[in-house]
Structure 1
Amino acid sequence: MKRIGLQVCTVLLAVALAMGAPLRAAPPDGGTAFMAIAIHDVVDTPAQLDEDAITSDRLVVLLEWLIGNGWTAVSLDDIERARLGVAPLPRKAVLITVDDGRASLYTRVYPLALAYRVPIVAALVGDWMDVPADGSVHYGERTLPRAAFVSWAQAREMQASGRVEFASHSQALHTVVRANPQGNLLPAGQNRIRFEDRHESDAAFRARIRADLARSRERMQAELGRAPRAIVWPYGRSNEDALAMARDVGFAYAMTLEPGPADATRPLAIARFLPTGDPDLQTWVSNLLLRDPWPSARRIAAFDTAQLVGANAAQTDARLGRAIERVVALGVTHVMLDAGVVSPDGRLEATWFPNAQLPMRAEVLGRFAAQIRARTGVGIVLRLPHEAVLRATGDRDRTLALYRELAVHVPFEGLLLEDADSFGDAIAGADDAPWQVARRRESERAVGWPDDDATALQAFLVAARMRPGLEAYWLAPAGHPLDRPSALAEVTLVPRTLDEPRDAEAAAPAPSRRIGLFFSAPGSSAMSARTLTTAARDFQIDGGTVIAWGTDDALAPPQNAQAIAPTLSAHRLPPVRDVAP
């Protein structure tokens, strides 16, 4: 049996002899919280690394750190007991999971689990496991030999040890599907299939997911003698429909790749830290201890979706290409896209995505969002003013249905909420974490809110159920104080026109990274690069880290981006300027 390399074996033997006992931690404190780690492949040398792999020596160092700092590796049985109130989790509990069933699960992780006496949850993809020994597996953008994955016999051996529990990674959902007419490929477990003449229906999507998960349980029952109780979503992506099907076929646990702590009382939403780039110990520790969870800076360029739409498909692709080049040159972290067209009287007269509520001008938003994300790595924030939707639909239920359809057909990370002053009633705490904001928003009952504000909250929650992890960007009223970020939004943006005089006493933002300025040109004038950079530089000197602007000219010549990027790019430090005391 192939095992880990000589160097790691030497370290492992010394550690095992010195320990003589399993991982221990501080006495239980009655908690249900734990951290979870998602490992994929483990290799012996840096030359073997891919994006999600880690080296075996760093895994050993991590285990050593856990032991030396009072952490306990827990199992799903431990989490179940905590969920039922039978026995609390230790104060520092960590769930170690391994996705995809790569061969290193058996040759590297399993020996470490035995030596360190730690439990592991390993997720298997049914279709990959069922490939013949001389066959190959389509793994992302690569084709790997079947031998690059564990066998059913190896899985049975690991399970028999009592250290490894197997979860489903689906039967065949660890792949992508065509999600729009232009052919963008998105995770199969979250997105509807776009056929030549139609989109997959809600009922067909649910039936596809249910059949896949049921088949996965059947195969694992047949090969391992027990059906899995946990579903580990491929790519960490799912939605409320997929989750309902998972519950329906018998899954009690569901794991994502959302950052943050997990909790035994929320077994169907287990967040996990995904290490990328073979992180050093400091990175592991920072994530396990939840240090500094907010981005250090956000730069958001707002584009008019209509500007990217050409007279034909070729022209649209050319415009999209120019916009992508501009995004890269600007060094932004997010792009904001209009999801519809608002008429002069404030009605949403058409959308850029398929829906059953309002006319669709062209089905391009899903393409633009997916392509910009894939080519630049930025997050996508969508703008769909709920009051404009209400004026067009005249109906709250139709409005909420439209937001659901938006989230069904378009991949995005943030939604702009505007004309909803009630979001500013509760002020963010200095120690709030992103997951606390999301929980607070989910539990908000909007008592005493105006109906339209309550609709805005419900619209966001409807979208978030289809795109878990969705962030709220609240567009505050003009003049909103910069020391009052909303407690219900990850980001508060305060509008300011570029001709508005700077008030030095009111300019300093809160000491968080959750509030900033949304610069726009006065009236219908074009946005001046010089004026924008001056205003942005002043705000950064005052301590601001969140800056949005728009409407940005997505098709501007390259020299425009060259002029503003040194100040606005999130990838560069802004120029230092002397400031009078």
Structure 2
Amino acid sequence: MRRSPGVHTPGFRAGWLMVTLLLAGSILAGCVPSTPRGSMTQAGPVPDDLPATPRADPLQVTILSYHDVRPDVEGAVDADRYAVSTSRLVEHFDWFLAEGLHPVSVDQILAARDSGAPLPDQPLLLVFDDGLRSVYTEVFPLLQLYGYPAVVAPVGLWMDAPEGWSVPYDGLGELTAEDLVTWDQLRTMQASGLVEVATHTWDLHQGVRGNPQGNEQPSAVTRIHDPATGAYEDDASYRERIRDDLSRAAGRIEEELGQRPRVVVWPYGEYSQVTDSIARTLGMPISMGLVPRPHPVDDLSGMGRFVITGNPTVTDLAWYLRRSPSAVSPVRVVHVDLDYVYDEDPAQIERNLDALVERISTIRPSHVYLQAFGDPEGDGTARSLYFPNRHLPMRADLFNRVAWQLRTRAGVSVFAWMPLLAFDLGDDTRNDALSVLRWEGDRAVPSRPDYRRLSPWQPEARRIIHEIFEDLAIHAAFDGILFHDDAYLNDREDAAAHPETPGRLPTVRERTDALFQLTSEVMETVRRYRPEARSARNLYARVVLEPESEAWFAQSFPRSLEHYDHTAVMAMPYMEGARNARRWLGELVRVVAEHPGGLEGTVFELQSVDWRKPAPIPTAELVEWMKDLERAGAIHFGYYPDDFIQGHPDLWTIRSALSIERDPWRREHP
């Protein structure tokens, strides 16, 4: 989106061009996020009979992550929300038996991957995190009784803690050595043939300083910030720290138990391709995260797990596991300019951030699209960035801070809103050399009808783009990327594809393909460090309503549906000059619905400002548009921009239309 240059008042400065694990607070405690993705938090109704569990894909395994098991857990309101009562665990085991769910071993999973050995129907892997004493006193006798295999994942440093040691632990206050399993007990369990001992790392089960503001973030995926020097841990030091930790953890297990671990269970479920690669070189081919989903056995990296919380009944557990991975929860988006949070005064930044977080917490959207680039001129071109990087000035080291606060305090998924091509490198000669080009006679010259854009056909430009996104993924925790509407090429571009042949331009298909390919490659780069990152891309509404306009934008709506997790269509009637906004929106939804997966894959982004005047659009009108979208069949929608400083749209009015509390799939559930 392109913001009107020179207009800086929040709510009036922005105009569109043309036509996302929750981790608890700023200090990490316990084993998993305070509200892990897909976890359960309150009991639902219990029917008299349970329907049969749907048959799972035999090439997938469902992993259940348990923690403490105690006889005295107080229903669903125990102080330790991850604790399960012993009697409830018996009910779970009985249900597995009755429903034909088959707990399997690590050996069976590796055999299925390596030689295609069959797994039983509905395979389960039971994992008990943190190495709490109850895994021996309460769980192990039940494993023996039922003959169920399981994985136990202790934290190395905790196992060898000195006398008087303790650590803060979610739900238990302080965890001491008396609360943990001993090496002798692990030996006994391993000798039974039922228990595989994994590592929960040596000392990565903690938060480390992740930004100048002091947020503590998961150690395994965070480059440590040094407040004394203002510098971040470099890549070599980071990799050495992870390798040393895993090597020490694996070596200690081998020393005590005679066998190195084959499984690493990443604390807080946070991992990357970098950490997994290091683990594999140390003999751990299986790694586990915390995304709740069945996992294919042909890829044992970052295996998804269902975290058991709230001491769930069998009915609640069944509901949790049976939800189809294809079930669609409505996405509700608030699109935020980080330029509004920024101020030269750090204290004012924090006040602005508090106001934003409080507002988002009240509105309760599912997602925030958060600007990660500096655009004070309001023209949509990134001349600075809000994170450390190799190529552009850093306006402030702010994106990670704001994204973290929104994710942990407001409970939303945060997508980094970034240009794909529109980067100003601060050097006119270099900008021109790497620019999208058009022909003037037999001369190829920079093409700048609006944005400055780097050419997807210039290898050096592509390298810069990749490195910018790599730096973002290294230095910030987020849930996805929203590609800005600068990702277009018009019908006179890009001469850089054929610089030696005057007048020759790429075909429409070649231009469209080039942008799809570049976004795919960028997402591959991002996922090296943020493996669960999702993708979204802004698309002009005209591309949806007039498919032939692909020739002018190199954008294709049906192919975007196939290519991205969501296509964020700029559903902005006044920007499009619509005479009847509601009728125009209805037609847009109708056309989207004609495409397979159109409604499921499209986020309709409404405008909260009429940039023709400019003036805010009344909140009542914006809400009526949202109701119109829903009545027409739209599933996902949101708006841009949110003026959290001036309070537009009206807080409680917009909350009534946008809050995810209206989503039945998001019912509270243990």
Classify the TM-score, shorter chain. 0.7 to 0.9
Task: Give the match for residue 284 of structure 1.
Answer: 317
> CA deviation digits over 1:161-187, x for unaligned, max 9?
111110010000000100000001110
Map residues 360-379 of structure 1 onto 2, 5 A cutoff: 360-379=394-413
| Contact persistence 1:32–1:83 (CA under 8 A) | no
1:218 correspondence with 2:251: yes
The letter of the residue matching 1:410 is: A
Q: Residues 447 and 109 (structure 1 numbering): CA distance in 2 closer, same or farther, change over 3 Å?
A: farther
Task: Give the match for residue 603 of structure 2.
Answer: 516
Q: What secondary structure is seen at the aligned counterpart in 1 of 2:324?
A: coil
> CA deviation digits over 1:77-116, x for unaligned, max 9?
0011111225211231111111111122112211111111
Task: Give the match for residue 276 of structure 2.
Answer: 243
Task: Give the match for residue 176 of structure 2.
Answer: 145
Q: Residues 266 and 235 (structure 1 numbering): CA distance in 2 closer, same or farther, change over 3 Å?
A: same
Give, in whole Å, the separation in 1 of the partners of 2:510 and 2:199. 41
Residue from 150, 165, 169 that aligns with 2:196 = 165
Q: Give the TM-score normalised by structure 1.
A: 0.84
Map residues 466-481 of structure 1 onto 2, 5 A cutoff: 466-479=529-542, 481=544
Q: Aligned-pair distance for 1:380?
A: 0.7
Give, in whole Å, the separation in 2 of the partners of 1:406 and 1:189. 17
| Contact persistence 1:497–1:522 (CA under 8 A) | no
The letter of the residue matching 1:93 is: P
Give, in whole Å, the separation in 1 of the partners of 2:335 and 2:57. 47
Could you tell me which runs of 5 or more consecutive residues in structure 1 were left unpaired when the two chains were aligned.
Answer: 1-24, 423-445, 575-581
Residue from 213, 238, 244 that aligns with 1:205 = 238
Residue from 67, 85, 88 that aligns with 1:58 = 88
Q: Aligned-pair distance for 1:263?
A: 1.9
Q: Aligned-pair distance for 1:363?
A: 0.7
> CA deviation digits over 1:15-36, x for unaligned, max 9?
xxxxxxxxxx99x999432111
Q: Residues 30 and 467 (structure 1 numbering): CA distance in 2 closer, same or farther, change over 3 Å?
A: closer
> CA deviation digits over 1:291-323, x for unaligned, max 9?
255452221111110111123111111111111
Q: Aligned-pair distance for 1:51?
A: 2.7
1:95 correspondence with 2:125: yes
1:489 correspondence with 2:564: yes
1:264 correspondence with 2:330: no
Task: Give the match for residue 75 of structure 1.
Answer: 105
- Single out whichever of 82-91 and 291-300 deviates more from structure 2: 291-300
> CA deviation digits over 1:519-545, x for unaligned, max 9?
123325434312211111111222323
Map residues 544-555 of structure 1 onto 2, 5 A cutoff: 544-555=634-645
Give, in whole Å, the separation in 2 of the partners of 1:41 and 1:293. 31
1:190 correspondence with 2:221: yes
> CA deviation digits over 1:194-248, x for unaligned, max 9?
0122001111110000000000011101111111011111111011221221122
Give, in whole Å, the separation in 2 of the partners of 1:210 and 1:166. 19
Task: Give the match for residue 388 of structure 2.
Answer: 354
| Contact persistence 2:372–2:386 (CA under 8 A) | yes
| Contact persistence 1:479–1:494 (CA under 8 A) | no
Q: Count residues in correspondence.
A: 526
Q: Determine what percentage of the aligned residue pairs are the same residue.
A: 31
The letter of the residue matching 2:181 is: V
Map residues 304-343 of structure 1 onto 2, 5 A cutoff: 304-342=337-375
Q: Residues 48 and 373 (structure 1 numbering): CA distance in 2 closer, same or farther, change over 3 Å?
A: same
Give, in whole Å, the separation in 2 of the partners of 1:351 and 1:288. 41
Q: Residues 269 and 135 (structure 1 numbering): CA distance in 2 closer, same or farther, change over 3 Å?
A: closer
Give, in whole Å, the separation in 1 of the partners of 2:334 and 2:648. 15
The letter of the residue matching 2:129 is: D
> Greater RCO between the two (CA within 8 Å, min separation 6)?
2
Give, in whole Å, the separation in 2 of the partners of 1:287 and 1:266. 23
Task: Give the match for residue 296 of structure 1.
Answer: 329
Q: Aligned-pair distance for 1:371?
A: 1.2
Give, in whole Å, the separation in 2 of the partners of 1:548 and 1:355. 30
The letter of the residue matching 1:81 is: A
Give, in whole Å, the separation in 2 of the partners of 1:251 and 1:41. 25
Q: Aligned-pair distance for 1:467?
A: 0.8
Residue from 633, 651, 663 that aligns with 1:543 = 633
Q: Residues 385 and 559 (structure 1 numbering): CA distance in 2 closer, same or farther, change over 3 Å?
A: closer
- Single out whichever of 121-130 and 509-518 deviates more from structure 2: 509-518
Give, in whole Å, the separation in 2 of the partners of 1:203 and 1:378. 32
> How well do the aligned residues superpose, as a CA RMSD in angstroms?
2.8
| Contact persistence 2:56–2:122 (CA under 8 A) | no
Q: Aligned-pair distance for 1:251?
A: 1.2
Q: Aligned-pair distance for 1:498?
A: 4.7
Q: What secondary structure is seen at the aligned counterpart in 2 of 1:348?
A: coil
Q: What secondary structure is seen at the aligned counterpart in 2 of 1:382?
A: strand
Residue from 383, 392, 405 that aligns with 2:471 = 405
Q: Aligned-pair distance for 1:562?
A: 1.6
Q: Residues 344 and 318 (structure 1 numbering): CA distance in 2 closer, same or farther, change over 3 Å?
A: closer
Q: What secondary structure is seen at the aligned counterpart in 1 of 2:387?
A: coil
Q: Aligned-pair distance for 1:345?
A: 5.8
Q: Residues 254 and 334 (structure 1 numbering): CA distance in 2 closer, same or farther, change over 3 Å?
A: same
The letter of the residue matching 2:344 is: A
Q: Residues 462 and 319 (structure 1 numbering): CA distance in 2 closer, same or farther, change over 3 Å?
A: same
Give, in whole Å, the separation in 2 of the partners of 1:147 and 1:295. 44
Q: Give the TM-score normalised by structure 2.
A: 0.74
Map residues 28-39 of structure 1 onto 2, 5 A cutoff: 31-39=58-66
| Contact persistence 1:98–1:105 (CA under 8 A) | yes
Q: Aligned-pair distance for 1:249?
A: 1.7
The letter of the residue matching 1:556 is: Q
| Contact persistence 1:567–1:573 (CA under 8 A) | no
Give, in whole Å, the separation in 1 of the partners of 2:610 and 2:649. 23
Q: Aligned-pair distance for 1:348?
A: 1.5
1:380 correspondence with 2:414: yes
Task: Give the match for residue 497 of structure 2.
Answer: none
Q: Residues 200 and 162 (structure 1 numbering): CA distance in 2 closer, same or farther, change over 3 Å?
A: same
Give, in whole Å, the separation in 2 of the partners of 1:380 and 1:411. 9
